[in-house]
Structure 1
Amino acid sequence: MASHSLLNRLFHNEIGRPTFHIFIKYIALTMLIIYPIASIQAFFFYDDTSPTFFLAPTLASLIIGSLLANAALLKYQLQHKSEQFRAIADLAQEFTYLRSTDGLYEYISPSCIDLTGYDQQTFYDTPNLMNQLIHPDDITIWKRHMHSVNNNGTPESFDLRLLSKDGSTVWFNHTCMPVSDKENQQIGVRSTNLDITKRKKIEEKLSYQSSHDDLTGLFNRREFKRLIQEMLTSNVHDKTEHALCYIDLDQFKVVNDTCGHAAGDEMLRQLSVVLKKVIRASDTLARLGGDEFGILMTNCAIEDAYQIASLLQTEIQNYYFQFEEHRFRVTGSIGLVPIVGRGSTLTGLLKDADAACYMAKDSGRNRIHVYHIDDEDLTQRHSEMQWVKRIQQALIEDRFCLYAQSIESLNNSDKMHYELLIRMQDEHGRIVPPGAFLPAAERYNLIVQVDRWVIDNAFRLLEENPRILDEVDFISINLSGHSLTDVGVLDFIISKLKQYSVDGNRFCFEITETAAISHLLLAENFIIELKKFGCRFALDDFGSGLSSFGYLKNLPVDYLKIDGVFVKDMMEDKIDYAMVKAINQIGHIMGMQTIAEFVEHDKTKHMLKEMGVDYAQGYAIHKPQPFHEILKLTLNNVSDS
């Protein structure tokens, strides 16, 4: 009864193990077939039916039943595995298929319609459908990879595009692996295809943003440099001529200052469209930053590049920008550099193009300057550019120092007067004269930082040594034209006067005549604001840009410094003598005191005194020396007295 109960449970799958169910089932069926045959044989051929006689059919039924059971079990397992695979594949988001070596689909997952727009039956009916859907630009990649997996048995995974049923382009990742039998013979291909369109769009957007200018949509500086480098690499063994063009807009700052940056941005967008219309389809236009543009002209001789640059110059000049009630017109300074054969480097080309562009601007703006390797002006420009890094590093490392030169009163005043001068200490501690680095600082807009350094350190030193102010009438500090027009510098000076609690009346700021004339209203406002704190002003190099004395009425300066070019030769040159005398007289009439520069001889000093000039400055009076030495000497003299 126990065994009958077990069979009943197995047959009815109560145990839940199909292996035992199948095995017992086939043993029982075999015994039902074999035992009747054995019984008939016993009836005809034997006199008795002993138990041993029935052992043989029992063993036979067990063996045959076992074989049949194993065969049935294998079939069940294969069917079960197939159903499992289909169930998993049907639920997966990836479009999966199995394909035999003869090209027919053995299985297509339902998600095929999500990726391609076509259902399973369409794929079964059209074995070549996948090949037909691949994007034309990617068909070569598709065939190459499919050939590899079909013929070499090599797994492949790659990204490509297909055209779905509705005509849209779909990016997908295709992963395919060979399917082999137990003899390791390939019998087909298994493939999964994942929709990666969203990911690709994000990647494309990020790639675009990293290579394009947000404002104009043009290539940015980084991408422009990459394209030049790519061209140089491919041009190593090629003698084809190319050209690099730099454009710097002239007076663009006026637009920003007048109407704000929104107006300036709109102008740049419009000008980008203007420039695009002029260049060739093969040229690459980029915005390099601010109001600078770059153009890479491939397969273009320098003569042709010059013609294109001339067209660009004309179009910029003829362009008018309207913003509200304001109308602006700008021009462009253009630098051109030929690129011929090997030997050119990215760094060298960019440096040469920038230098050529600067020369165009420095020559009067709205010009085109073509770079030549033997160009003396560009050689000087390169020399100045080398100073930029050195100036920046000196500012960071605080390697500037103050010198001072005495200004002697010719009216027997006991008070001392000094002009502060700047020097740089190089990397080895040697003193660098101002003529070596100040021109570069002026050209590359570093002079404002230098001026700020001088102001801060001068105020600090005088606060730390207050007794010297009792012995000094005034100390002169030079201000560049850039600082004169920078509102931030005016605020900086006022803040430092308050921070160090120094008497503004002890300081005289020197501004050049040229800078004052060029920015008359700004200069006037600058002077008026600082005079509220007692500061004095001197007009430096007066006479060098002399065209009229009329503007002096609008500049409330305290001193006129007569340009040394007239002073140094006044003993031999009657015209120079007359100029010095005229400037001195006009200055006095307007209530200003006069200071003569470049006094290199005692005779010149005596002549100036007789003429009525108030102060003299030059090597005949005092050679510049470190300011800290003057402070120390002055304080010692005060202590001794």
Structure 2
Amino acid sequence: PVRSLAVVEDVTLRRRAERELEREHERLRNLIEGTNAGTWEWNVQTDEVIVNPRWAAILGWSVEELGAVTNQFRADIAHPDELPHTRTLLRQHFAGRSGAYVAEVRLRHREGHWIWVEDRGRLITRTADGRPEWVFGVHFDITERKRRDEALSRLSIELADQHELMRVTLKSIGDAVITTDASGMVSWLNPVAERMTGWLSSEALGRPLLQVFHIINEETREPAPDPVAACMAEGRIVGLAQQTVLISRDNTEYGIQDSAAPILNAQGEMLGVVLVFHDVSEQRRLSGEMTYRATHDALTGLVNRAEFETRMLRTLRHAQENDSRHALMYIDLDQFKLVNDACGHAIGDQLLQQVSKLLAEAVRTRDTLARLGGDEFAIILEHCTMDQASRVAQKICDRMDDFRFIHEDRRFRIGTSIGLVPVDKRWASTSAIQQAADTSCYAAKEAGRNRVHAWFDTDAAMRARSHEIQWTSRIESSLDGDGFELFAQRIQCLTGQAKGIHAEVLLRMRNADGTLVQPGSFLPAAERFHLISRVDRWVLSRSVNWLRNLRAPDRIESLSVNLSGQSVGDRAFHAWAYALFAEVGVSVCSRLCLEITETAAVTNLADAAVFIGQVRAAGVKVSLDDFGAGASSFGYLKALPVDYLKIDGQYIRNLVSDPLDDAAVRCFADVARLMGLKTVAEFVDNTDVLNRLQAIGVDYAQGYLLHRPEPIAGLIEAEANSVA
């Protein structure tokens, strides 16, 4: 019989498990695809590799194009630099020394370039005898990340290099650098800052800035404003206050300058402050020295005229704005020239230094004591009434009256004349105050010297000299605008026929209406207000130019130009005159004669002798004018190498009727002949006087009898007419 055997097995559970496993695989695939990872499964024993489409796409292939993949293929496309390392990592993992195999490797792309992948795998199964079998893993394309990492690495290296460069630079530069954090605590000092503050960077770390950076105001010695606090408060670069001084840990002081700047991040948040400063002690010392020299007299150390003018203006403004009261003194030494001429300029300088100390002892430290020039001084007494100022002025007079200047075996009484003026809101300008003080000082001299003359609104001396003050502006205008004109008066030769014209240059001022002003009206003001040397320069330069431009220069044998006593004693004028004579040459200088009064020559004997010697060396002749007018001595002629003696007119006017004048003129003429000098008589107004001068043997005569002054151009025209 036919039999059948049937076996029935219930596989429900197995089928259910297979479906569950399939669903799990599906979820795993979805998860892997969601991570954009390439997967690989490697059978170590057969070398077979199963990959998913993403794994192939990362390398530029499709699964179909790749076909069967082996581990040898993976080795072939791996970068040779990483291949030994990856094999080592796999062996370590297979040996159980790592939980997973993880490596970053380069694989060759289908197009030939290298890509970076992160390769992760884990041994899943082993063979029955324990050998590695299946390894599952994933690939992630990390090429972009690697590029970013490399860029960041390069940037990091660059930043590190820059940081090192900055650190070395900050250590090497000459400026001191301190950095703080956002709370103002010190975070770093460079070596210069360490040296100047006396703090090491490690010691200063975390300390408040002002404990390390101790700064004060140089003048007040009060703490200086904190630049870091100001920088943080304002969020901008802040400069240090002027005159800031850094006091180091050992109390060494440094004058410093510079600034504090905020350190901000990319979002503009304050991270801290960098303080940069440098030592300006030497520059500040030199600047202070230059300022001192510019504002102080080199000889006495007192304030000079320029600084005095500045302080005078400041004092007047204070008086006008605050109705305050001050006082000004002008001080002139009475016998300074006597010492200067008798003992020399070096000794005169010693006298000025001693007087400066004496004056300084008589005033307060807050007052301004200035040397205006020569032997003239001024004192500004701030917040001082006229009564108080009068007592100070009289004290100075008394001290100077008791003072004796001693040089070798000689004793000199000096004395002072002081002009005292109130400084209050009544004055419109400092020049008006100074003119009043100058006039008051002059009034003190005229009243007998060594006294104080206090100015008042009704001052008679002020009214008496007001016309001189008014002349100063007219003189200034004439100098600047050619308001002066040169006239000339002939000088006649009495001993024969002269080779050419002899004449004296005279000065006139032209009024706006065309009329002429005689020199007696304006020259006293020019002398009084120290404008006479400028007038002398004007006259001498134009006289020289007139001579130089003559078509027939031989027509002029001698042209005399008067010089004032101030010019004779002014070394700056001497230098200017020497330069002028050197420029025009001997052809002009030989026809020029400088007339210097006997009084001016004797008063400035040493300067006059040097000046006369040097101008004569240039070919210029010199005439001693008004000879006999002062307490003259023929002994002075030995020290003054002149060419002419011009006898003062007081001996000429009454020459015929006064035997004493006649005897004096004969004496002057005899001495002149003995010394080889020519004589000139001035103020010759009548024929009898002229005849008597010829009989005595005077060489030249000058006066209205012979020629009335006329414009200088008329000299040549008159000479030409007389020849015709």
Q: Does 1:256 align with 2:340?
A: yes
- Matched to 2:225, the amino acid is W
Q: Does 1:431 align with 2:516?
A: yes
Shift in CA distance, 512/304, structure 1 to aligned 2, threshold 3 Å: farther
**Pairing 1:408-557 to 2, within 5 Å after superposition:** 422-426=506-510, 430-443=515-528, 444=530, 445-446=532-533, 464-465=554-555, 480-485=597-602, 486-487=608-609, 511=626, 514=629, 516-517=630-631, 519-521=632-634, 535=644, 537-542=646-651
Shift of 1:275: 0.8
Q: How far apart in 2 are the matches of 1:178 and 1:389?
A: 59
Q: Which residue of 2 aligns with 1:87?
A: 168
Q: Does 1:108 align with 2:192?
A: no
Q: Which residue of 2 aligns with 1:157?
A: 239
Q: How far apart in 1 are the matches of 2:103 and 2:170?
A: 33
Structure 1 residue aligned with 2:485, among 399, 408, 425? 399
Q: Which residue of 2 aligns with 1:97?
A: 178
Q: How far apart in 2 are the matches of 1:595 and 1:190?
A: 87
Shift in CA distance, 269/420, structure 1 to aligned 2, threshold 3 Å: closer
Q: How far apart in 1 are the matches of 2:664 and 2:682?
A: 12
Q: Which residue of 1 aligns with 2:441?
A: 357
Is the CA contact 2:368–2:380 (under 8 Å) kept in the aligned structure 1? Answer: yes
Q: How far apart in 2 are the matches of 1:9 and 1:115?
A: 59
Q: Which residue of 2 aligns with 1:19?
A: none
Is the CA contact 2:188–2:204 (under 8 Å) kept in the aligned structure 1? Answer: no
Q: How far apart in 1 are the matches of 2:257 and 2:432?
A: 43
* Range 73-82 or range 184-193, more displaced: 73-82
Q: How far apart in 1 are the matches of 2:183 and 2:615?
A: 87
Q: Does 1:316 align with 2:396?
A: no
Shift of 1:323: 2.6
Q: How far apart in 2 are the matches of 1:583 and 1:526?
A: 27
Q: Which residue of 1 aligns with 2:654?
A: 562
Q: How far apart in 1 are the matches of 2:278 and 2:666?
A: 90
- Matched to 1:240, the amino acid is S
Q: Which residue of 2 aligns with 1:327?
A: 411
Q: How far apart in 1 are the matches of 2:238 and 2:386?
A: 48
**Pairing 1:18-417 to 2, within 5 Å after superposition:** 27=104, 35-37=120-122, 40=124, 54=137, 57-59=138-140, 82-124=163-205, 126-130=207-211, 133-135=214-216, 137=220, 141-143=224-226, 145-158=227-240, 160-341=244-425, 343-374=427-458, 375-386=462-473, 388-389=475-476, 392=479, 399-403=485-489
Instruction: Select the structure of larger CA radius of gyration.
Output: 2
Is the CA contact 2:184–2:229 (under 8 Å) kept in the aligned structure 1? Answer: no
Is the CA contact 2:174–2:192 (under 8 Å) kept in the aligned structure 1? Answer: yes
SS of structure 1 residue aligned to 2:653? strand
**Pairing 1:608-619 to 2, within 5 Å after superposition:** none
Shift of 1:494: 6.0
- Matched to 1:100, the amino acid is D
Q: How far apart in 1 are the matches of 2:347 and 2:627?
A: 33
Identity of aligned residues (%): 22
Structure richer in helix, relative to its length: 1
Report Cα offsets for 1:44-97 as digits up to 9, x if no partner: xxxxx999x85xx32276688788888888877766654444333233333322
Report Cα offsets for 1:473-529 as digits up to 9, x if no partner: xxx998644454344675589679x669xxx9xxx9762754x22x435666589x6
| Greater relative contact order structure (CA < 8 Å, 6+ sep) | 1
SS of structure 2 residue aligned to 1:142? coil
Shift of 1:399: 2.5
SS of structure 2 residue aligned to 1:59? strand
> How many residues are paired up?
553
Q: How far apart in 2 are the matches of 1:583 and 1:294?
A: 47
* Range 483-492 or range 69-78, more displaced: 69-78
Q: TM-score, normalised by structure 1?
A: 0.69
Shift in CA distance, 397/8, structure 1 to aligned 2, threshold 3 Å: farther
Report Cα offsets for 1:293-326 as digits up to 9, x if no partner: 1111100112221211111112222222223333
Q: How far apart in 2 are the matches of 1:347 and 1:8?
A: 100
Shift of 1:240: 1.0
Is the CA contact 2:627–2:645 (under 8 Å) kept in the aligned structure 1? Answer: no
Shift of 1:382: 0.7
- Matched to 2:648, the amino acid is L
Q: Which runs of 5+ in 2 are unaligned?
A: 1-75, 87-101, 107-115, 128-132, 559-592, 603-607, 671-679
Q: Which residue of 1 aligns with 2:578?
A: none
Q: Which residue of 1 aligns with 2:586?
A: none
Q: TM-score, normalised by structure 2?
A: 0.62
- Matched to 2:168, the amino acid is A
Shift in CA distance, 217/510, structure 1 to aligned 2, threshold 3 Å: closer
RMSD: 5.3
Q: Which runs of 5+ in 1 are unaligned?
A: 12-24, 44-48, 469-475, 543-559, 568-579, 600-604
